[in-house]
């Protein structure tokens, strides 16, 4: 007869346990490595996809992540002649558009305005003048934001020594309208962007940010070049835009290419109805069509309310 060896059954059970667990462990390890590989591969695919994504820069297609720097180069180039060129290109009509823009705004006393892509301060200046002269208000304020330091410097120079700077009713910040870092949600009464949103890489992001930072009941207002629908006027406008404006840019600013881009960017921007729908998509409520044409639709005022 054979005697049982102490611990023999335990050893056998241990071997049996290992025979089951070890392949399972290897399976899970293999699965974990596979998931890690898939995750790494997915991340690489996403990066490659982002690198392949394109957007328009004028009539050219460029990688999406390059547009911001290309637009920055344009506005760095034109900053010193920007106001003069606006007068030359529009025969001064842009001033009437901006005056109308402020009248349509009809701001309440004490309102806080965030002026994005505010550049040389045309809208900010008109806003503060309106508050002072029409509302007899000395408490309203403007925060002027522009992504381009050269354009912002032109605005600061314009307001240097003014009563608004002395009273701290205007401040200037370099910032991106698509990601307004440092500006709290529900903190401003009015959000404006004039002739700037078409130069943004993703205009819908600007609209979403506008909705975020506005207080409930706040107002979004945009002044932008638009589409001329009357065929004869549209044809004449095209001739002036593509034949005359770049030449004016060459003569006054010694920069034909920047103004060629600016003309092309106008044609690439959505028409009035499409842009009004984008504003509604961001969450805004619009009245009627949501826009008002100026000068046959050469420009348009768009308005939305955060209800």
Q: Which of 78, 97, 74 is nearest to 221 (CA)?
A: 97
Q: What is the pLDDT of residue 16?
A: 44
Burial of 63 (0-12, 13-18, 19+ CB in 10 A): middle
- In degrees, rounded to 5, the angle at the alpha carbon of residue 182 between the alpha carbons of residues 46 and 190 is 105
Q: What is the pLDDT of residue 21?
A: 42
Kindly list the structural domains of the chain, giving each domain's residue range(s) and its CATH number in brackets, ordered by start. Answer: 64-76+86-226+270-305 (3.40.50.150)
Distances in Å between the Cα of 201 and the Cα atoms of 117, 183, 197 are: 13, 20, 9
CA atoms of 250 and 253, how far apart (whole Å): 6
Reported as a single tens digit per residue, the pLDDT across 140-176 is 999 999 999 999 999 999 999 999 999 999 999 999 9
CA atoms of 178 and 70, how far apart (whole Å): 16
* Percent of the chain residues past pLDDT 70, beyond the cut: 82
CA atoms of 234 and 83, how far apart (whole Å): 25
pTM of the model: 0.81
| H or E segment and range at residue 29 | helix 8-52
Segments in the chain below pLDDT 50: 1-21, 23-41, 45, 50
Q: What is the pLDDT of residue 15?
A: 43
Q: Which of 143, 75, 116, 265 is nearest to 205 (CA)?
A: 116
């Amino acid at each position: 007869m054979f005697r049982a060896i102490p611990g023999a059954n335990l050893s056998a059970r241990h071997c049996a346990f290992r025979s089951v667990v070890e392949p399972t462990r290897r399976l899970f390890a293999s699965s974990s490595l596979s998931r890690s590989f898939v995750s790494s591969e997915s991340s690489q695919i996403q990066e490659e996809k982002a690198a392949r994504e394109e957007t328009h820069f004028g009539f050219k297609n460029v990688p999406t992540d390059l547009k911001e720097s290309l637009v920055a180069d344009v506005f760095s180039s034109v900053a010193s002649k920007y106001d003069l060129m606006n007068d030359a290109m529009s025969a001064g009509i842009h001033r009437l558009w901006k005056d109308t823009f402020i009248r349509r705004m009809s701001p309440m006393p004490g309102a806080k305005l965030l002026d994005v892509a505010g550049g040389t301060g045309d809208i900010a200046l008109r806003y503060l003048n309106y508050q002072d002269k029409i509302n007899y208000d000395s408490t309203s304020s403007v925060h002027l934001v522009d992504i381009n330091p050269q354009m912002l410097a032109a605005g600061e120079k314009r307001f240097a020594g003014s009563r608004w700077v002395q009273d701290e009713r205007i401040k200037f910040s370099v910032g991106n309208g698509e990601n307004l870092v440092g500006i709290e949600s529900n903190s401003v009464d009015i959000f404006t962007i004039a002739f700037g949103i078409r130069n943004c890489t993703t205009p819908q992001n600007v609209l979403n940010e506008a909705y975020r930072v506005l207080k409930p009941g706040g107002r979004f207002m945009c002044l932008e070049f638009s589409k001329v629908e009357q065929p004869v006027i549209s044809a004449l406008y095209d001739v002036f835009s593509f034949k005359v404006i770049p030449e004016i840019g060459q003569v006054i600013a010694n920069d034909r290419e920047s103004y060629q881009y600016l003309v092309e960017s106008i044609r690439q921007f959505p028409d009035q109805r499409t842009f009004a729908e984008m504003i509604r998509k961001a969450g805004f409520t619009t009245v009627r069509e949501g826009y008002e044409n100026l000068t046959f639709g050469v420009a348009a005022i768009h308005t939305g309310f955060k209800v």
